[in-house]
Amino acid sequence: MSRRAAESAIEAVIRVSASLAIVGLVLIFVFIGKEALPVLLSQEVRQEAGLSRLFLPQSPEPSEPKEFAWQPISAIPKYSLLPLLTGTIKATVVALLFALPLALGAAVFSSEFAPSWLREIIKPSIELLAGIPSVVLGFFALMVMATYIQDLLGLDYRLNAINAGIALGLAVIPIVFTVAEDALTAVPQSYREGSIALGATPWQTAWRVVLPAAFPGIFAACVLGFGRAIGETMIVLMASGNAAVLSLSPTDPLRTLSATIAAELGEVVHGSPHYHVLFFIGTLLFLFTFATNLLGQAFVERLKQRLSGSRL
Amino acid sequence: MRPMRSITAGLLALAVPLNAAATITIKGSDTLVILNQKWAEAYRAKNPGVSIQVTGGGSGTGIAALINGSTDICAASRPMSRKEKLSLRDRFNTLGVEIPVARDGLAVYLNDSNPVKELTLRQVEQIYRGKIANWKDVGGEDAKIILYSRENNSGTYVYFKDNVLQGRDFSPMAQSLPGTAAVVNAVVKDKRGIGYGGAAYAKGIKFCPIKKTDGDAAYEPTLEHVKSGKYPISRDLYFYVRSKPSGDIKSFIGWVTGPEGQELVGQVGYFPIR
Amino acid sequence: MSRRWINRITFLFMGLTGLACATVILLVALILGHIAYHGVHHLSWEFLTTAPRAGMTEGGIFPAIFGTVFLVLLMTIAVVPLGVCTAVYLQEYAPAGSKLVHAVRLAIQNLAGVPAIVFGLFGLGFFIEFAGRSVDRLFYGGQLHFGQPAILWAALTMALLTLPTVVVATEEALRVVPRGHREAAYALGATRWQMVRYVLLPQATGGILTGTILAVSRGAGEVAPILFTGAAYYLPELPRRLNHQFMELGYHVYVMATQSPDVDATKPILYATVFVLLTLTFLLNFSAVVLRARIRRRLAEGR
């Protein structure tokens, strides 16, 4: 083989493997979407689990009032996604309420106030949290944290939205911290020096100069944290109680979209309506997280442009 | 690129299907999984040439695997439904073979400190449907009843739903836990909790005596009461195979239903079929 | 505003952010401390080298450790060449401003954000139901060998999940190789591949290794992707073929925490297993951090 032919063969191989990332992403969407499609298209599946059944209320028995219920194994299977959506959003909101103040506060402290030796301790410690597998966080929330939270707040339910949300928050903190910290340290030192030179104190500098400059990055951190929270599975599967309740109370148990897939997919007969509904839920999760990621990246881009533009 | 070649060769060698030792796979009911594991360990000790793989996940999982062809034996804590049998017939042109391997008294769990002495079947049904929500309505303290249930892939869930709830839906407030142990664990930690599951699992909680109707006496799920049928919630646990067992599978199942296998049944807290 | 007020607010602001920081670190310490405290005393050589017995209330976790190692090994074989090639393409081969580069970057970033459970669905839908069944149809006359959960499919699913980690770390390593080295190689008449093979990759080894270690750490800890693609509750034998199922540490933790027959008897084993899993992932993460710090320092000195 001539050297040039070998060169171009190698280049082709490298180009093909690079495009495999795109192929992988597309395949994920295609193969999950393909299994979800019968929910929209197949006559047989639609009869049991069409869109109206997924989103509108249904009577458990002809005599009883209509309700939103997730009861896939039943004489009349009920596939209302509303309790699951509510549960997912509830867990995510609690997680963000818990994680955002802590993670953003820690990021500001680490980038603005901490001396460099302290920063060398803070960053790896929080990154350590990112290294804890989610099944371990779930285990901790299930076996240890739940009891303390229940006793502390005097709650009826041991496994509830607060417990699941806090455990989920622990998984979100490192992501938000890392992205926000990167955004804050990316703000040029000259901004701070200028502000201090004009007589501002460090907190004024942080609050009025650095934070606004880094805002797109901080927003991106929140969005990416949201994306992580919405898709996380093992933590909520173990710590949330998994009751498909339509309730907004943070002290009730809940069931999320992701945990529903994890708990039920192992069981279903392949090709049954239940199977397709679970893939439909997977498609929803994929689209949600895809959208939040695009949004997060757009804001990171904007931060880069803003900071590099201002440097000129 | 020599390392690449040897890696590829190694992978191909690994990929060749296995013929040396016979492998039997059992998949299904979590209620049966401990017992299956015990059987697998003991049988293998006697027959080193046969390897038995045990996976749990629930009866539904096992039956689905039987229908998909990905397990030899399905362990189930409920009979196969008509729909499932039809799916099996569509794929393999057989209705499957059902072999009872043990008997289980399905216990209703209460926390040790719960003062409730007994419940009727009807009360248990009302509690799990959310119609009775306070312990004082069944003779207990004035406290909310916290319901613990199983994931809907478990045979225990389906059996309880069909036989205790008369086919009606569980209250949405019932928490679905992924295994019977999780239910036991939850009731251990929750004074107001109620759960259900195999009598084999119960440690650190009490079994609530159950009566069929108001007039009957209440019985606990003991060997005697389960055998005589006085305890109202009991069931058979099954193995399912696609066709009449032969070879290694036949001798394994024969051993399981024989005296040695049945002795182990008692050890994990279930009841022998004979 | 008076000076006193400014001082107070400064103090408050620093105090609050510092408190947030301290809280997070305290939480990490609390979790790790609790697990280490309860996990360490059940640990023994026997625990690490024997199989579970008596319905997981006795014995050790060797099959789970073995399965985890086998899984991440297969995953590494799949993900490292792919990730390195992708990074090399992005950094070296792609023409500036090419659309493909933009698309690949976008795909990598989005891949990193796809929930783990969705990878599990994909593994079942694509690898098992599609690829596995096709293999069976083509080579085994429809007999079931690969169209079922297996370690190969779990590893490939995990490889896709960890691809972004490897690509990002490799790219970073390639980016810091000085421009002059490339130019020197070309000046000596090297082709592009020769330059990559003999100049870039040797210098980027550290970065590639860092990425690999991080990917391994992630792969060893994720459970959701292997729930339906190959993990098993209990196997009497170690997996020896690519189409065998396997036991895995994270899955073992999940199973013992939720499905153990005897909660009290399992507890010490459960804690010890969590401790082993944590130690494993931390050792990996820690070595990645040290490695990366060393590379960065060396580069800083070299400049």
Comparison of pLDDT for C285 and A269, the residue scoring more:
C285
Q: What is the pLDDT of residues A190-241, one digit of tens each?
A: 888 888 888 888 778 888 888 888 888 888 888 888 888 998 999 998 888 8
Q: Are residues B89 and B152 in the same domain?
A: no
pLDDT value of residue A312: 37
Interatomic CA distance for residues B226 and A267, integer angstroms? 29
| Residue C283 neighbours by CB under 8 Å, 6+ apart | none
Q: Name the residue facing B64 among A147, A246, A267 (closest C-beta).
A: A267
Q: How many domains does chain B divide into?
A: 2
Q: With an 8 Å Cβ cutoff, is B16 touching chain C?
A: yes
- Å between A97 CA and nearest CA of chain B: 24
Residue in chain C closest to A301 (alpha carbons) equals: C106
B144 vs A contacts (CB less than 8 Å): 156
Range of the domain at B77: 12-104+237-268
pLDDT at B33 over 60: yes
Interatomic CA distance for residues C246 and C66, integer angstroms? 9
Q: With beta carbons less than 8 A apart as the criterion, state whether B40 and B26 touch.
A: yes
For C202, the enclosing helix (H) or strand (E) is helix C201-221
- Å between B15 CA and nearest CA of chain C: 5
Q: With an 8 Å Cβ cutoff, is A148 touching chain C?
A: no
Amino acid at position B109, single letter: Y
pLDDT at B50 over 90: no
Q: What is the pLDDT of residues B158-196, one digit of tens each?
A: 888 888 888 888 888 888 887 777 788 888 888 888 998
Percentage of chain B exceeding pLDDT 90: 5
Q: How many domains does chain C divide into?
A: 2
Angle between helices A211-231 and A82-108 (to 10 degrees): 140
Q: With an 8 Å Cβ cutoff, is B228 touching chain C?
A: no
pLDDT at B28 over 80: yes
Interatomic CA distance for residues C143 and B38, integer angstroms? 30
Q: With beta carbons less than 8 A apart as the criterion, state whether C224 and A233 touch.
A: yes
Q: Name the residue facing A245 among B61, B146, B173 (closest C-beta).
A: B173
Q: Are residues B88 and B126 in the same domain?
A: no
- Write the burial class of residue C24 (CB in 10 Å: 0-12 exposed, 13-18 middle, 19+ buried): buried
pLDDT at B16 over 70: no
Check C117 against A286: CB less than 8 A apart: no
Tell me, yes or no, whether B4 lies in a domain: no
Q: Are residues C284 and C257 in the same domain?
A: yes
pLDDT at A267 over 80: no
- How many residues in total does chain C contain? 303
pLDDT value of residue C229: 86
Q: What is the mean pLDDT of residues A142-150?
A: 86
pLDDT, tens digit only, all 303 positions of chain C: 577 787 787 788 888 888 888 898 999 899 999 998 988 888 888 778 777 776 666 777 888 888 888 898 889 888 998 998 888 888 888 877 788 888 888 888 888 888 999 999 999 888 888 888 788 778 876 666 777 788 889 999 999 999 988 888 888 888 888 888 888 888 888 888 888 888 888 888 888 888 888 888 888 888 989 988 888 777 767 777 787 778 888 898 888 888 776 667 778 888 988 999 998 888 888 888 788 777 777 766 655
Predicted complex ipTM: 0.86
B64 vs A contacts (CB less than 8 Å): 267-270
- Å between A149 CA and nearest CA of chain C: 14
pLDDT interval class at B18 (50, 70, 90): very low
Q: What is the pLDDT of residues A282-302, one digit of tens each?
A: 999 999 899 988 888 888 888
- Å between C231 CA and nearest CA of chain A: 11
| Residue C52 neighbours by CB under 8 Å, 6+ apart | C58, C59, C60, C61, C63, C234, C269
pLDDT at B86 over 60: yes
B67 vs A contacts (CB less than 8 Å): 269
Q: With an 8 Å Cβ cutoff, is B98 touching chain A?
A: no
Q: Are residues B80 and B140 in the same domain?
A: no
Check C255 against B56: CB less than 8 A apart: yes
Q: Name the residue facing A131 among C18, C25, C282 (closest C-beta).
A: C282
Read out DSSP for B182-249?
HHHHHHHH-TTEEEEEETTS--SSEEPPEESSTTSPPB---HHHHHHT-SS-EEEEEEEESSS--HHH
Taking the CA atoms of chain C, what radius of gyration do you get in angstroms? 24
Q: What is the pLDDT of residues B59-69, one digit of tens each?
A: 777 888 888 78
pLDDT value of residue B203: 66
Percentage of chain A exceeding pLDDT 90: 18
For testing the chain C interface, which of B55, B72, B153 should be mutated: the one with the most C CBs within 10 Å?
B55
pLDDT at A61 over 80: no
Amino acid at position C123, single letter: G
Q: How many CB pairs under 8 A join A and C?
A: 257
Strands, E assignment, chain A: 70-71, 78-79
pLDDT value of residue A93: 93
Q: With beta carbons less than 8 A apart as the criterion, state whether C203 and C179 touch.
A: no
pLDDT value of residue C55: 62
Q: How many CA atoms, within 13 angstroms, populate the side-chain half-sphere of residue A75?
A: 12
Q: What is the mean pLDDT of residues B49-74?
A: 82
Q: Are residues B224 and B250 in the same domain?
A: no
Q: What is the pLDDT of residues A29-38, one digit of tens each?
A: 999 998 888 8
pLDDT value of residue C300: 66
Tell me, yes or no, whether B5 lies in a domain: no
Q: What is the pLDDT of residues B210-260, one digit of tens each?
A: 888 877 788 888 777 877 778 888 888 899 998 888 888 899 999 998 988
pLDDT at A266 over 80: no
Q: Report residue C163 as tokens.
A: 């691809």
| Residue B24 neighbours by CB under 8 Å, 6+ apart | B50, B51, B52, B53, B72, B73, B248, B249, B252
For B76, the enclosing helix (H) or strand (E) is strand B73-76
Q: With an 8 Å Cβ cutoff, is A280 touching chain C?
A: no
A241 vs B contacts (CB less than 8 Å): 175, 177
Q: What is the mean pLDDT of residues B9-18?
A: 46
pLDDT value of residue A60: 61
B38 vs C contacts (CB less than 8 Å): 54-55
For testing the chain C interface, which of A1, A13, A28 should be mutated: the one with the most C CBs within 10 Å?
A28
pLDDT value of residue A169: 93
Q: Are residues C103 and C230 in the same domain?
A: yes
Q: Are residues B203 and B192 in the same domain?
A: yes
Q: Name the residue facing B174 among A74, A243, A269 (closest C-beta).
A: A243
For testing the chain C interface, which of A111, A132, A137 should be mutated: the one with the most C CBs within 10 Å?
A132
C20 vs A contacts (CB less than 8 Å): 101-106, 109
Q: Name the residue facing C148 among B70, B201, B204 (closest C-beta).
A: B70
CATH of the domain at B256: 3.40.190.10
Answer left, alpha or beta for residue B157, where phi above 0 means left and psi between -120 and 50 means alpha.
Answer: alpha
Tell me, yes or no, whether B142 lies in a domain: yes
pLDDT at B140 over 60: yes
C53 vs B contacts (CB less than 8 Å): 41
The CA distances from residue C198 to A12, A139, C82, C202, C230, in Å, are 19, 47, 19, 6, 39
The CA distances from residue C180 to C73, C84, C93, in Å, are 36, 22, 17
Q: Are residues C257 and C136 in the same domain?
A: yes
pLDDT value of residue A91: 92
Q: Are residues B248 and B215 in the same domain?
A: no
Q: What is the mean pLDDT of residues B89-96?
A: 85
Interatomic CA distance for residues A114 and B77, integer angstroms? 60
A75 vs B contacts (CB less than 8 Å): 167
CATH of domain A80-308: 1.10.3720.10
Chains in contact with B via at least 3 Cβ–Cβ pairs below 8 Å: A, C
Q: Are residues C54 and C177 in the same domain?
A: yes
Domain ranges of chain A: 3-78, 80-308
Amino acid at position C64, single letter: A
Check A28 against C114: CB less than 8 A apart: yes
Q: Name the residue facing C126 among A18, A31, A293 (closest C-beta).
A: A31
Q: Name the residue facing B177 among C144, C258, C263 (closest C-beta).
A: C258
pLDDT interval class at B9 (50, 70, 90): very low
Q: With beta carbons less than 8 A apart as the criterion, state whether A229 and A95 touch.
A: yes
- How many residues in total does chain A contain? 312
Chains in contact with A via at least 3 Cβ–Cβ pairs below 8 Å: B, C
Comparison of pLDDT for B8 and A167, the residue scoring more:
A167
Q: With an 8 Å Cβ cutoff, is B22 touching chain C?
A: no
CATH of the domain at C212: 1.10.3720.10
Check B64 against A243: CB less than 8 A apart: no
Residue A241 per-residue DSSP state? B
pLDDT value of residue B181: 76
| CB contact residues (below 8 A), chain B span 190-219, against chain A | 190, 192
pLDDT interval class at A170 (50, 70, 90): very high
Check C191 against A3: CB less than 8 A apart: yes
Q: Name the residue facing C117 among A110, A207, A258 (closest C-beta).
A: A258
- Å between A272 CA and nearest CA of chain C: 14
Q: Are residues B123 and B225 in the same domain?
A: yes
- Å between A91 CA and nearest CA of chain C: 15
The CA distances from residue A182 to A123, A124, B258, in Å, are 11, 14, 67
- Å between A187 CA and nearest CA of chain C: 18
Q: Report residue C250 as tokens.
A: 């994270």
Range of the domain at C18: 1-42
Percentage of chain B exceeding pLDDT 70: 89
pLDDT value of residue A98: 93
